[in-house]
Amino acid sequence: QIRVPVLHSPQYRRDHGERFTYPLGSTGDQRRHTDQLTAAVSAIEEIMTVELTAYGFATATPSGDGYKFECQHGADECYGNKIVACTKKYITSEKTFLDFTLCLMDEGSYPPINGKMCAEKMGFKWDPIKECVDSVEGQQLLYQEGVKQNRLSPAVDYIPWIIINDVFSRANLDEAQVDLIGLVCNTYTGTPPNGCK
């Protein structure tokens, strides 16, 4: 999910929860979505607060103390989603977490290798994340990501899913996939940063 503040002070944003939400899933269009997000973060990061959630169209079945998952694009997608869920818990820097997740999405389609490589690139240890991913904890964290996604209204029926200021619109969903920077800049009502020009 991506949360993009619009106009208001940090206190107002905390109190009112303005956001731009973009759950991520592994799709054939992943490169295009990643490129849009990476470009937006690079150009207009100062007006964006980004929160990523990776769950997509997974299903979870209770298994012991954890869950078994089936993901739309197979086991690698589920593994990658657990990497994102575990990293979100253990990496406290939002910037590092975002950069890591963009790296993970950008480097190809095999999360077990990409996770280690991207962790090294971002300067943090991979082993604690991998231990989480391969444990019941990783299953529980991913399940909670699904619970969070499933609370969205209307229900997610397409990935990526875009919500701005707690309101979903197909027009925003369509525009974000073509011109995310333009959408954020047009939504932002403060003084636009240079990246909006």
Encode pLDDT of 158-186 as tens digits.
888 877 777 889 999 899 889 999 998 99
The answer, yes or no, to whether the previous bond of 160 is cis (omega within 30 of 0) is yes
Q: Which one of 42-46, 87-91, 185-189, 193-197 scores highest in mean pLDDT? A: 87-91
Examine the pLDDT at 102 and tell me if it is beyond 90.
no
Q: Are 49 and 184 in contact (CB under 8 A)?
A: no
Global pTM exceeds 0.85: no
**pLDDT number for residue 28:** 52
Number of Cβ within 10 Å of residue 85's Cβ equals 25
Contacts of 60 (CB under 8 A, 6+ apart): 67, 68, 69, 142, 143, 146
Which has the higher per-residue pLDDT, 110 or 43? 43
Pairing between strand 20-21 and 163-164? Answer: antiparallel
Report, as an integer, the average pLDDT of 5-33: 47
Q: What percent of the chain is predicted at pLDDT more than 90?
A: 41
pLDDT at 146 over 70: yes
Q: What is the mean predicted confidence (pLDDT) over 61-75?
A: 94
Domain positions in the chain = 10-196
Phi and psi angles of residue 34, each rounded to the nearest 5 degrees, phi first: -60, -45
Q: Say how far apart CA 126 and CA 10 lie, in whole Å.
A: 32
Task: For residues 7 and 186, give the distance between their C-alpha atoms in angstroms, rounded to a whole number.
Answer: 11
Helices (H), 107-164: 111-122, 127-133, 136-150
| CATH label, 10-196, candidates 3.40.30.10, 3.90.330.10, 3.40.50.920, 3.40.50.80 | 3.40.30.10
Select the more confidently predicted residue: 197 or 44. 44
Top-confidence residue, 114 or 135: 135
- Tell me the mean pLDDT in the region 2-11: 40
Q: What is the DSSP-derived secondary structure letter of residue 20?
A: E
Residue 109: per-residue pLDDT: 58
